[in-house]
Amino acid sequence: MKARSLRAWSAVHTWTSLVSTLFMLLLCLTGLPLIFHHEIEHLAGDEVELPVLAAPQAARPLDELMASARARYPQRVVQYAAPDEEEPAIWHFTLTPTPAPTDDYKSIAVDARTAEVLRDAKTGEGFMYWMQRLHIDLFAGLPGMLFLGFMGLLMVVAIVSGVVLYAPFMRRLDFGTVRRERSPRLKWLDLHNLLGIVTLVWATVVGFTGVINTWADPLVKYWQYSQLSALLAPYAGQPLVPEAERAPVQKALNAALAHTPGQQVSFLAFPGTAYSSPHHVTVFLRGDTPLTSKLLKPVLVDARTATVTASPALPWYLTALLISQPLHFGDYAGMPMKILWALLDVATIVVLGSGLYLWLKRRATRTREAAVGETEDGVPALT
C-alpha cells in the first residue's frame, strides 16, 4: 500500500473510531448485563415463579386470564399478550392508557391454570431498566435509536478500515506478537491489534445487527404502509372496533392456530396497536426450533367475527430484523453462547479503551516514537 493510501485509511479509521468510541463503550458496558438479563432477574427476585399446584389443571380461556390482568388496572387497555418464553403456563399482558405506542405501560403476569395474577412488574425503574434504555435509545426514543444506529455504522467503517491497515502494519511481525520489551504504548498497540483482529467477526456481526435493530420502528411502519394497507382496504374508513363488539380472544387465537398448524404462539397484538390494525387481533406464531422460533408468522383475525382474513409472509427486511435481535445478544444457544458473547464483549471494551489511549498517547509522544523507529505512516493512530 502506498503511503498516501495508508494515510487516507488511517484518517478514516482514526476519526470514525474516535467519534463512535465513547458510545460504543457505553453500548458494550450496558450490553454486558443485558446478555444475562434472565439470570440477573432470577437472582434479583424479579423473575416470575410458577406456583406448584396440588393437582394438574388445564389452562383457562385467554379471556379469563386477560380479565384478571385488567382487574388490576380497569382504566387501561390490553395492547399485547404473550406466553412466557420459558414457561408457557405464564402469560404476560401489557396494559396501557390507549392502544397507541407509549412508555407508560404496566406488565402483568398471570397463571394460565388458575387465572391468578403472579406479578405486577415494576416498570420504569431498576438497574436492568436503566441498562436497557441506555443501550436501546439513550432515553431519547426514536431519535436516540437512530443516533446509536449511526454510531454503529461508524463502528463498522472503523472495523473495515482497521482490517485494511492491519496487513501493512503486521508485515514485519508474526501474528499475535506483543512487544513487551518495548514502550507501554507499543505493547498496547500490539494488544489492541491482536484483540481487534480476534474479535473482528463478532464485532462486525454485533455492530451490524445493532444497526438493524435501531431501524425496527421505521421498518414496522413501512411494512404496515406497504403491505398491510392493501390487506386492510375492505376496512377503509371504519373506526377502531370497540371492545364490546369483539369476539372472544380465545376464539381468535384458536382460529389462528387452526389456520397455521404446527406453530406456537409468540404474542397477540390487539386492535389499534403498532403491530396490528384497528380491525384485527393479530396473532404472531413461531416455530419450535432455535432458528424458526425467531421467525414470526402474522395471522390477521377479524376482531368482530374471529375469522382469519389474511396471513401475509413477512418481507425480507423484517425477517432480517427478527434474526438480528437474538443474534445481537447471543440468545441462540443457551448459556455457552452467552458466556462467549460476554468474553468477546469484554475484549471489545479493551479494544475500544486501548484505541482511545493510543490516540491520546500518540499526540503527546510523536517525538519519542520517531526515536524508536516508528513513523506516522508505519504506525497509524488506531490500527
pLDDT in tens, the chain (383 residues): 678 888 888 889 889 988 999 999 999 999 999 988 888 877 877 778 888 888 888 899 999 999 999 999 999 999 999 999 888 899 999 999 999 888 899 999 999 999 999 999 888 788 888 999 999 999 998 899 999 999 999 999 998 888 888 777 777 777 767 777 777 778 888 888 888 888 888 899 899 999 999 998 888 888 888 888 888 888 888 899 999 999 999 999 999 999 999 899 999 999 999 888 999 999 999 988 777 777 889 999 999 999 999 999 888 898 888 888 878 887 766 788 889 899 999 999 999 988 888 888 777 766 555 555 544 444 444 43
Cβ(176)–Cβ(41) below 8 Å: no
Cβ(229)–Cβ(221) below 8 Å: no
Outline where the chain has alpha helix (H). 3-35, 37-43, 62-72, 127-136, 141-169, 184-198, 200-214, 216-223, 229-231, 249-259, 316-329, 334-364, 366-371
Residue showing cell 423484517? 318
Looking at residue 39, its amino acid is E
Q: How far apart are CA 246 and CA 64, in angstroms?
A: 15
Cβ(281)–Cβ(252) below 8 Å: yes
Query: pTM for this one?
Result: 0.80
Sign, CA dihedral 229-232-237-243, equals: negative
How far is the CA of 126 from the CAs of 41, 45, 48, in angstroms? 11, 12, 16
Measure the N-to-C terminal CA separation of the chain; round to a whole number of Å.
15
Q: How far apart are CA 250 and CA 60, in angstroms?
A: 10
